[in-house]
Amino acid sequence: MSALPIDTSALETGDGPDPVFAAHRGGKMEIAATIPLADRDDLSIAYTPGVARVCSAIAAEPALFDEFTWASRTVAVVTDGTAVLGLGNIGPKAAMPVMEGKAVLFKKFGGIDAIPICLDTTDPEEIVETVVRLAPSFGGINLEDISAPRCFAVEAMLAERLDIPVFHDDQHGTAVVATAALQNAARLTGRRLADLRVVVSGAGAAGVAVTKMLLSAGVGDIAVADSRGVIHVGRDNLTPVKSELAAITNRAAITGSIEEALKGADVFIGLSAGKVPESAVATMAPDSFVFAMANPDPEVHPDVAHKYAAVVATGRSDYPNQINNVLAFPGIFRGALDVRATAITEGMKLAAAEALAAVVAGELRADHIIPSPFDPRVAPAVAAAVAAAARADGVARV
């Protein structure tokens, strides 16, 4: 497991308790009742004997389960702790603060109750079997911080076995927001997605999902680079996932390093920990876009990117144009839960990206191609688009 970049001395500062640790002490969430429990009458309604009537009704008519329990508006946030933020494989217990944070974001931005579940196994089959058995308690499953390539298999197996939405946010949340940002960057500069040549750094969960979504959105060509260079047909020792990428990307047949791919490229999208030298950024096409999303240290520092690029985005909250998954997952799940969707389709994800881009389409600037997470228009717009797409794709139950 990766070592934490801090030690317990951070619990205190020279001025007293560290504010971050103080905020996390005891956890960041709790369960709250939605009905009063002030007297015996309240108790007899909330619990026995009144609750037995509801249980009997659901037993007789299972469809009542969605209406008379919280499950249809509750999401499980599931991890095995193997790919947590930039910390790597730190295990399920150390992952819990992140999962709690994700649950809090679900509530704040989507009005959705979410329960963090940290599993003490890294075996894909065991993860799937556990989640399948827990699934009756939830209206959706948000997979989080599961390392590639296991995350692809886990999501696929769960989607096949469950009739509720399954969504790996590290893949698809990133893809939705990056696609929306690129749509608006192209709109701002008067270009078409079909005319853009994109270079993606990183072939992990986010890199694969972003690449596939951008191709679905109409991007002309994408070259994907990993630590060994550009992925292309004929390169040896490719994993099945990378072989699939090779078959659908790199129409220009570029080989070699990412520096070779960046020559004349219109867009750089960074989804890895690798650094890109300024000399390579300087070879990109005029008015390029640089989305350097490694956190906390972008692949290209914004000060460097601004020397060459027309639009710059990062994954950090202290720079403009933050590519932040919180812009996507609350609205996506809100829309899916509202229509009791049985899955998250490609059409729903593309609809989310287009709706997110449209929120600020009339107010675009180079430093404002994507909304703030605190923009109150975001989640309702994404939710409405996702619900409509779910109906169009035939996965909505209401």
Q: What DSSP string runs through 114-130?
A: EEEEE-S---HHHHHHH
User: Which domains, and CATH codes, for the chain?
Assistant: 1-6+17-164 (3.40.50.10380), 172-314 (3.40.50.720), 325-392 (no CATH)
Q: 21, 382, 336: which is closest to 180 by C-alpha? A: 382
Has 393 been labeled as part of a binding site?
Answer: no
Tell me how crowded residue 109 is: count the other CB atoms within 10 A of its CB: 21
Q: Please state, in angstroms and as integers, the Cα–Cα distance from residue 273 to each residue in 9, 115, 201, 300, following that order.
A: 27, 30, 9, 10
Distance (Å, rounded) from C-alpha 99 to C-alpha 234? 40
Distance (Å, rounded) from C-alpha 371 to C-alpha 68? 36
Tokens 């690449």, residue located: 211
Residue 229 gets which letter from DSSP?
E
* Element (DSSP H or E) covering residue 42: helix 40-46
pLDDT of residue 11: 64
Has 244 been labeled as part of a binding site?
Answer: no
pLDDT of residue 4: 52
Q: Please state, in angstroms and as integers, the Cα–Cα distance from residue 333 to each residue in 32, 238, 340, 352, 386, following that order.
A: 21, 34, 10, 10, 8
Residue 76 gets which letter from DSSP?
E
Has 297 been labeled as part of a binding site?
Answer: no
Distance (Å, rounded) from C-alpha 396 to C-alpha 277? 47
pLDDT of residue 1: 47
Instruction: Show which residues are catalytic.
Output: 47, 102
Has 144 been labeled as part of a binding site?
Answer: yes
pLDDT of residue 15: 64
pLDDT of residue 273: 79
- Residue 268 and residue 292 in contact, taking contact as beta carbons nearer than 8 Å: yes
- pLDDT in tens for each of the 398 residues of the chain? 444 555 555 566 556 678 888 899 899 989 899 999 999 999 999 999 999 999 999 999 999 999 999 998 999 999 999 999 878 899 999 999 999 999 999 999 999 999 999 999 999 999 999 999 999 999 999 999 999 899 999 999 999 999 999 999 999 999 999 999 999 999 999 999 999 999 999 999 999 999 999 999 999 999 999 999 999 998 998 999 999 999 999 999 999 999 999 999 999 999 987 899 999 999 999 999 999 999 888 999 999 999 999 999 999 889 999 999 999 999 999 999 999 999 999 999 999 999 999 999 999 999 999 999 999 999 999 999 999 999 999 999 99
The sheet carrying 166-168 orders its strands as 113-118, 74-79, 140-143, 166-168
Output the CA torsion 155→156→160→166 (10° steps). 30
Distance (Å, rounded) from C-alpha 327 to C-alpha 274? 25
Whole-model pTM: value is 0.92
pLDDT of residue 101: 95
pLDDT of residue 20: 87
* 362-389 burial: b if 16+ Cβ within 10 Å, else e: eebebeebbbbbeeeebbebbbbbbbbb
Q: Which two tokens stand for residue 77?
A: 């946030």
Has 237 been labeled as part of a binding site?
Answer: no
